[in-house]
Chain A
Amino acid sequence: MANLGLSTADTTRRNFLRLVGSSAAGTVMTEYSTDVAAALTKATDGTKDVVWLQGQTCSACTMSTLQGTSPSLEEAISEFKLNVTYHPEIMAETGQDAIDAMSDDPDILMIEGAIPTKIPSAATFGRDEKGRRKPIVDWVKELAPRSEFVMGIGTCACYGGWQSAQNGAPAVTDDTEEGPWLDDNVTGAKGVQFTHQQGDEGVLGPDFRSNAGLPVINVPGCMTHPDYVLLTVATLLNGHTPELDEFNRPEAFYGPLVHDQCSRRGYFDRGEFVDHVGEDSEKCLYTVGCKGPYCHCDDSVRLWNDGTSVCRNVGAPCIGCMEPAFWDNMTPFYQPIEEQGLPLGDIETAGVAAVGATAAGLGAHAGRKAMGYGDGDDADSATEEPPRPDGGCACGSECECASEATSTED
């Protein structure tokens, strides 16, 4: 690491403090920010072994982690004394050498990609003791109980991702030939501890705890944000337990509502919306399907690619990619949720009569469709579900907090 000398450490510390400082108040990250920052320079007893597995993945979460700048991946590896014993995309070793290099009791097990359980052979690497291709589900079951911490990297690993989204084949074909191709979830893709489908369990089940006594720490996103990965690692290695929400996401990053921090929020409150995608204006994108009111993360402020930009800033409506089942609950992507199989009256409420309406009239049922696992099979029970406490305006007009969300706009 000759090129990563002391000057880099100083830069890293400064950037790290800036980053944790901009996190939401009252979280572990800020509460202990000095301590967390100390992790960067604290001499630890040896290195921390990391294993990064890939299931059904597109690798964007790895590519995204490579884009980190505060710290960068190479700074994190150097400064947090990480020993990446296995990462299929960046390691030097290959084949059996790669598997031999893998720690079998890692300090941190990171899992990227969904885990197919119905067709386990849909993602494999290496061989099992019988010489058969070894499915990722076996690797996860084997390594997770021996790991100090387990992290789900990206929406696929956290909840199953698009692989587990509704299969459209049965709806569009007359072909009745039986087979997994007509199943809802073709390969049985799951997340590590959660799934796309309400009422189902992830591969490790809800009671799983890693050796540190924690559930799988989820940093979803399609793709995830490099800061979410690397700063969570820093927090864990420094002995702090990040506050987690109902999907075991660190509150520091996933507490805010995209909508509340959006640069276009003022237009939403005034009821000024774009007519079509690509319109040259700063107006609100709600009418072209923005799911910011239903999506939790701080990227409106944190931005991406070293603070360059974020989806809404380039006119692209939020697709809700931090939330479970967003591939079904937030689609069609270019339509407001009110228009998705719901009474026409809601469109009027959302698109036109926004001014003065609490939360601009985002329907309560629209919020339920989008939040968490979406509308359950039982519509009545969905109605009785309390809105998320941190859901801001998405709670809808029945909720007191809606007006607060509007008034706290900066």
Chain B
Amino acid sequence: MPEIEIDPTTRIEGHHSTTLNVEGGVVTEAKSHMDMFRGMELVVLNRPPSDAPVFTQRVCGVCFTVHRQTALLAIENAAKNAGVFDGIPDTARKMRNLLERMATLWNHAVHMFALVAPDYSDAVADTGLTRLDPMDGAGYTAALEAQRKLLQGFAEFGGKAPHPLTYAPGGMSANPTIEKLQQISDQVEFVSDWLGPTDAVPEVIENVRNDRFDPTLGEGLHDIVSLLFAAKEAGADDFGVGPGRYYCNGIYPDENGEDQIPSGIYVDGELSHPSDEEIKNAITESTAHSWYTDDSGGSPMEESPPKPAPDKEGAYSWGKAPRYNGMNMETGSLARLIVTDRDPFDLRATLGGDPTKSSTLNRLIARAQEALLLRDQIVELLDDIDPNGTVNTGWSDDFSGEGVGLWEASRGALSHWVKIEDGTITNYQIITPTLWNLGPRDDSGTPSIFETAVEGMTVADVENPLNVMRTVRSFDPCLACSVHVESPEASYTEEITPASPGSALTAACDAPIAGEEADDT
């Protein structure tokens, strides 16, 4: 079969590619390949629990706080289960809740403008939206400046960003001061002015409809609404449609340990709020189509550390396939807003057609809605942090136990699973939101959310499946992606193979090229 490939997909984090079989202009099969393996779950073994947050933070330089946070939750949970830890001080809890929100807001700004917006820019899609043009559009560069300010505020507590070292076992390392809180407040205010007031949304919508631009109501808001309208115009409310099953972990605990955003499972129109224990028992990973041995799958707490099997028959991804009671689940901003039953300004109901619909447009709208909600919460939280509060009373690695950290990255549900014996990590598993959204098929052959969402999509131009790319990026995957289109109509296979003298080295290496059998024509 002739193959057309669009590889790599750019503007997402990491390495990813997708193979599409297109017949008669319709995607008949999609395979989502994660093209990178690093072995974090092996490297972190045989080390003390307190090293896990520092290591696993490096899973992602975009989700740079959440892996650290979730690893901390896992080892702190294990220490609690072992009866040697009572929980982090209240001021530390508030600081983590604040910083996590800032990191998610930062991610959303970067995602919307640097990764997604170019797809709707004049430079890429002839939309006339020159403000969104990569690197030199005025909206793009304003967003770059805003994200810098936000991280500068973050660094007041974080020390640096990305990869702040300030979340520590037992709480925080940073002590809040009035000066630091004021500095954060100033930077947040700058970002807030760029974004614009939340209650201006209806007016900005009118402005965008009438081609007006009022910077006093937020440059950022105008650009975001323009982006959403461009996506609507492209028909994004009707493509990239997933099964509409959602999962999120509970986050932002209050002083009583109640999560301000509760855990949630939304299946067949029914919303439930499972306990942490129920979530833990419901999650399994399948490696049927992953480049790992079969015993690398199963219940995360019990499965083997990942054993790479790069020449495994039928495998096509370095990602595993996580399932919730056997079901594939969508995760991310849209899931969080559905679980909390929020649709600010009815944007998903009106623009998106249905607030709970799993569509490319609804994922973008939800991220924008959440950005506004987060900004408002951050402003409130800043006033709530005691500059003299205790942030840490100490930590000891010397215990045995099991623990799970359940948290939300900006792009969705994240969990870390750890087993500790006498102060040493003996098993560690990480299930990322991108695995939930863009993993491979499971042992029953059920595709992941993204694979499902793309199958059946119309591809007008197999050489430029723009709407497929828009759909990939709508999940904000933590992997750089690419798309391969295989179509009987295509006839330019040869053109896509750049010369690579360097591949002689690969031939010399004894290792097989994973995925060869899956993609060779």
Chain A interface residues toward B at CB < 8 A: 1-4, 54, 56-64, 66-67, 69, 72-74, 77, 84, 87-96, 98-99, 114, 116-135, 137-142, 161-163, 165-169, 171-173, 175, 177, 179-181, 186-187, 189, 222-223, 275-280, 299, 304-306, 308-317, 319, 327, 331-334
Q: Which residue of the partner chain, among B10, B36, B161, B480, contacts A122 with CB atoms under 8 Å?
A: B36
Q: Which residue of the partner chain, among A119, A126, A177, A187, contacts B293 with CB atoms under 8 Å?
A: A177
Task: A314 to B184: give the CA distance in the assembly, Å.
Answer: 14
Count CB-based A-B contacts (< 8 Å). 390
> Which residues of the other chain, B, contact A91 by a CB distance below 8 angstroms?
10-11, 134
- Which of these binds chain A: B51-59, B207-215, B222-230, B270-278? B51-59
> Which residues of the other chain, A, contact B397 by a CB distance below 8 angstroms?
332
**Nearest A residue to B149 by beta-carbon distance?**
A306
B175→A280 contact, CB < 8 A: yes
Residue from A57, A127, A275, A299 with most neighbouring chain B CB atoms (10 Å):
A127
Q: Looking at the assembled complex, report how far the CB atom of A55 sits from the nearest CB atom of chain B, in whole angstroms.
A: 9
Q: Which residue of the partner chain, among B42, B171, B391, B511, contacts A167 with CB atoms under 8 Å?
A: B42
> Which residues of the other chain, B, contact A186 by a CB distance below 8 angstroms?
39, 42-43, 308
Task: A126 to B7: give the CA distance in the assembly, Å.
Answer: 5
**Nearest B residue to A99 by beta-carbon distance?**
B498
B36→A123 contact, CB < 8 A: yes
6 smallest A-B Cβ distances: which pairs?
A: A60-B61, A278-B392, A95-B6, A168-B45, A168-B46, A304-B160
Q: Is B403 an interface residue (CB 8 A)?
A: no
Task: A98 to B496: give the CA distance in the assembly, Å.
Answer: 11
- Which of these binds chain A: B21-29, B404-412, B513-521? B513-521
Q: Is B100 an interface residue (CB 8 A)?
A: no
B511→A223 contact, CB < 8 A: no
B424→A172 contact, CB < 8 A: yes
Q: Which residue of the partner chain, among A74, A114, A171, contacts B135 with CB atoms under 8 Å?
A: A74
Known: A62-B61, A163-B39. A309 touches B160 (CB 8 A): yes
Task: A279 to B172: give the CA distance in the assembly, Å.
Answer: 9
Task: A315 to B390: give the CA distance in the assembly, Å.
Answer: 13
B484-521, CB < 8 A from A: 493, 495-503, 505-506, 509, 511-516, 519-521
**Nearest A residue to B7 by beta-carbon distance?**
A126
A63→B305 contact, CB < 8 A: no
> Which residues of the other chain, B, contact A77 by a CB distance below 8 angstroms?
135
Q: Which residue of the partner chain, among B45, B304, B500, contacts A138 with CB atoms under 8 Å?
A: B500
A122→B38 contact, CB < 8 A: yes
> Which residues of the other chain, A, contact B173 by a CB distance below 8 angstroms?
277-278, 314-317
> Which residues of the other chain, B, contact A135 by a CB distance below 8 angstroms?
503, 506, 513
Task: A2 to B135: give the CA distance in the assembly, Å.
Answer: 11
B305→A169 contact, CB < 8 A: yes
Task: A63 to B424: give the CA distance in the assembly, Å.
Answer: 32
Known: A166-B43, A167-B45. A95 touches B482 (CB 8 A): yes
B502→A140 contact, CB < 8 A: yes
B245-263, CB < 8 A from A: none
B395→A96 contact, CB < 8 A: no
Q: Looking at the assembled complex, report how far the CB atom of A169 sits from the nearest CB atom of chain B, in whole angstroms.
A: 5
Q: Looking at the assembled complex, report how far the CB atom of B313 sits from the nearest CB atom of chain A, in whole angstroms.
A: 15
Other 18 A-B pairs with CB < 8 A, given A131-B3, A134-B503, A315-B174: A4-B141, A58-B58, A72-B148, A92-B134, A94-B11, A125-B17, A129-B500, A131-B519, A133-B515, A167-B39, A179-B307, A223-B163, A276-B395, A277-B168, A277-B394, A304-B160, A315-B168, A316-B168
> Which residues of the other chain, A, contact B151 by a CB distance below 8 angstroms?
67, 305
> Which residues of the other chain, A, contact B425 by a CB distance below 8 angstroms?
168, 172
**Nearest B residue to A304 by beta-carbon distance?**
B160
Q: Which residue of the partner chain, among B35, B39, B424, contacts A187 with CB atoms under 8 Å?
A: B39
Q: Looking at the assembled complex, report how far the CB atom of B308 sits from the nearest CB atom of chain A, in whole angstroms.
A: 5
Task: A125 to B513: give the CA distance in the assembly, Å.
Answer: 12
**Nearest B residue to A155 by beta-carbon distance?**
B58
> Which residues of the other chain, A, contact B394 by a CB distance below 8 angstroms?
275-277
Task: A323 to B28: give the CA distance in the assembly, Å.
Answer: 50
> Which residues of the other chain, B, contact A2 by a CB distance below 8 angstroms?
136, 138
A316→B174 contact, CB < 8 A: yes
> Which residues of the other chain, B, contact A119 by a CB distance below 8 angstroms?
37, 308, 310, 511, 514
A67→B148 contact, CB < 8 A: yes
Q: Is B240 an interface residue (CB 8 A)?
A: no
Task: A98 to B481: give the CA distance in the assembly, Å.
Answer: 12
> Which residues of the other chain, A, contact B171 by a CB distance below 8 angstroms?
278
Q: Looking at the assembled complex, report how far the CB atom of A108 sits from the nearest CB atom of chain B, in whole angstroms.
A: 17
> Which residues of the other chain, B, contact A332 by a CB distance below 8 angstroms?
47-48, 50-51, 397
B306→A278 contact, CB < 8 A: no
Task: A354 to B424: give the CA distance in the assembly, Å.
Answer: 30
Q: Which residue of the partner chain, among B8, B54, B60, contacts A95 with CB atoms under 8 Å?
A: B8
B159→A310 contact, CB < 8 A: yes
Q: Looking at the assembled complex, report how far the CB atom of B148 sits from the nearest CB atom of chain A, in whole angstroms.
A: 6
A311→B45 contact, CB < 8 A: no
Task: A177 to B395: give the CA distance in the assembly, Å.
Answer: 36
Task: A56 to B425: give the CA distance in the assembly, Å.
Answer: 24
A54→B480 contact, CB < 8 A: yes
Q: Is B234 an interface residue (CB 8 A)?
A: no
Q: Is B157 an interface residue (CB 8 A)?
A: yes
Q: Which residue of the partner chain, among B50, B168, B513, contacts A121 with CB atoms under 8 Å?
A: B513
Q: Is B340 an interface residue (CB 8 A)?
A: no
A127→B39 contact, CB < 8 A: no
Q: Which residue of the partner chain, among A61, A165, A305, contacts B160 with CB atoms under 8 Å?
A: A305
Task: A377 to B473: give the CA distance in the assembly, Å.
Answer: 48
> Which residues of the other chain, B, contact A129 by a CB distance below 8 angstroms?
497-500, 503
> Which residues of the other chain, B, contact A61 by a CB distance below 8 angstroms?
61
**Nearest B residue to A179 by beta-carbon distance?**
B307
**Nearest A residue to B160 by beta-carbon distance?**
A304
A141→B502 contact, CB < 8 A: yes
Q: Which residue of the partner chain, among B17, B156, B165, B318, contacts A311 with CB atoms under 8 Å?
A: B165
